[in-house]
Amino acid sequence: MRILVQKFGGTSVATPERREAVVGHIRQAYDEGYALVVVVSAMGRAGEPYATDTLQNLIAGTEVPAREKDLLLCCGEIISTVVLVGVLRKHGFDAVALTGWQAGIITDDNYGDARILRVDPGRVLHHLNQGQIVVVSGFQGRTEQGEITTLGRGGSDTTAAALGVALGAEVVEIYTDVDGIYTADPGIVAEAQTLPNLTYYEVCQLAYEGAKVIHPRAVEIAMEGNVPLRIKSTFKQGPGTLVGIRPRDNGVPIRRDRIITGITHMADLTQLKVNLKNDGADGLKVFKRLAQAGISVDFINVFPDQLVFTVSNQLGAKAEKLIEELNLEVQVRPDCAKVAAVGAAMRGVPGVMAAIVEALTEEKIEILQSVDSYTSIWCLVPRKDMERAAQALHRKFGLGA
C-alpha cells in the first residue's frame, strides 16, 4: 500500500469553493492509487465562526481550566473533519472521519501545547485497508489516561508529520495558501522567491525563527522518521517546496552551503532591561522568577550591570511586575519585533552582521538589540519598522529574483 498524508490548513477548508479545491487534490492522489490520510485544521482565521481563535474568545475573561479549555479548542478541527467527509461522500468517495485520539495520537498532558509521544496507527490502517479515505482532525490527541489535549499553534502540521512517520507514508503534503516556502513571508516581502528544495535543517531554522508556514516540531518529526515533506498551494498548481529527500533519490544535498536561506520576522515582542545591583545573583533571581511563572524569555544579552531580554507583548506587564517585586529597576519597551537572517552556513562568514547593520541603518531603522547564534542573526526593531526591516535585509542579501 502506497500511503500519502495530505494536510489542509485553515484557509484551505474555510469555504465551500475552497473545499472543492481540496477535493481536487484528494482526487488526484486517489486516482494515482494512493491510500490517503487527510489531516485538517479548523476552518478559517480569527473572527470566522468555527476558527480556533473564535472558540477561544467564547471563554475570554472567564476561568476555564487548561484541561477543559482543550475540550473546547479541539472542536474546531472535529467540525471541519465532518464537513470535509460530507463533501467527499457527495463526490462519491468512501471517507471516514476520525478525531485525533481515534487516529491514535497519544500525547503528554501539557494541555494547550501537548507533545505527541507516540502514534497507534492500527485504526487508521484498518480503514485504509478497507479502501476508505481517512480524514483526521489535526491539532489534537489524548493522554495515556484518556484526557483530550491540543498541540498548540501549527499543531495540525505536527499531526500530519507524526501520522506520516507512523504509517510509513511516501510523502507528507502540507497544503496552504502560499505555493511553498519562500525566502521571506510573501505577505510582507513582495520580491520573495519560492525555494524549490530545502533540507530539514534549513526549514527547522526558518520555522524556529518565525516563518510560520510550517511548525518546527513537524519538521523534526519528519526528519527523525525520514519522511519527505512537500509544501504546496491548495489554490495553485505547482511543485511547491520539497523538504528533505536524500541525495541518492534526486541529488538534493542533505546539508547545504547557502549562507542565508531566508529572512524571518516575529511581531509583538516586549523588551525588558533590568539594572543589576549585584551582578550574577540578581540576574539568576530574575530568570528563576520568570521561569517559575512560566514566562519564556528570548533574545537574552547579559552584561555586568544589566540584563536585556524579550518576552511576548502579552506577558510584558506580568514580567515587569515580577521583576519589580524583586526590588530591581526595569525599563520596558513594548511593541518591538524581531527580524532574523537565517542560514545554515553563516557562522564565521565575515561581514554578515555588518551587512545587516548597514541595511537597517540605510533605512534609518533603530536596532534595539541584536543576538547571533550558530545559524541566525536577529535584530530587535520597533514593530512599526518590521516590514521595512525584513524588506531591507531581503534586498541586502540579494534574495530576490
- Inter-residue contact 161 to 223 (CB < 8 Å): no
Whole-number Cα distances in Å, 68 to 48, 74, 103, 240, 326: 22, 10, 21, 38, 34
Least Cβ distance, residue 35 to ligand ADP (angstroms): 23
Q: Which residues have C-beta within 8 Å of that of residue 250, sequence separation ≥ 6? A: none
Does 182 participate in binding ligand ADP (rule CB under 6 A)? yes
382/244 Cα distance (integer angstroms): 35
Compute the distance between CA of residue 229 and CA of residue 246 in angstroms, rounded to an integer: 12
Residue span 260-289 as binding mask against ligand ADP, x where in contact by CB under 6 A, dash where not: --x---------------------------
Report in angstroms how near the CB of residue 37 gets to ligand ADP at its nearest: 17
The amino acid present at 126, given as its one-letter code, is H
Smallest gap from residue 104 Cβ to ligand ADP (A): 22
How far CA 249 is from CA of 164, 236, 246, in Å, comes to: 19, 26, 6
Q: Which does 185 bind (CB under 5 to 8 A by kind): ligand ADP, Mg ion, none?
A: ligand ADP
Instruction: Kindly state whether residue 343 participates in binding ligand ADP, applying the rule CB under 6 A.
Output: no
Residues 146-185 vs Mg ion: string with x where CB under 5 A?
Answer: --------x-------------------------------
For the bound state, the minimum distance from the C-beta of residue 81 to ligand ADP, rounded and expressed in Å, comes to 15
Give the CB-nearest residue to ligand ADP. Answer: 9
Q: Which residue in this structure is represented by grid cell 468517495?
A: 93
57 conformational bin, left if phi > 0, alpha if psi -120 to 50, beta if neither: alpha
Among the listed residues 38, 87, 148, 213, the single contact to ligand ADP using CB under 6 A: 213
What Cα–Cα distance (Å) separates residue 104 from each residue in 118, 142, 144?
A: 8, 8, 11
Residues 13-72 that bind ligand ADP (CB under 6 A): 41
SS3 call for 89: helix
Q: Residue 260 — left, alpha, or beta (φ > 0 → left; ψ -120 to 50 → alpha)? A: beta
Q: Which stretch binds ligand ADP (CB under 6 A): 7-15, 49-57, 83-91, 387-395?
A: 7-15
371 binds, among Mg ion, ligand ADP, none (CB under 5 to 8 A by kind): none
Q: Which residue is nearest to Mg ion (CB)?
A: 154
Residue closer to Mg ion by CB (options 176, 310) is 176
Specify the stretch interacting with ligand ADP by CB under 6 A; choose among 54-62, 184-192, 266-274, 297-305. 184-192
Which parts of this chain interact with Mg ion (CB under 5 A)?
154
Which parts of this chain interact with ligand ADP (CB under 6 A)?
9-12, 41, 176-178, 181-182, 184-187, 206, 211-213, 262
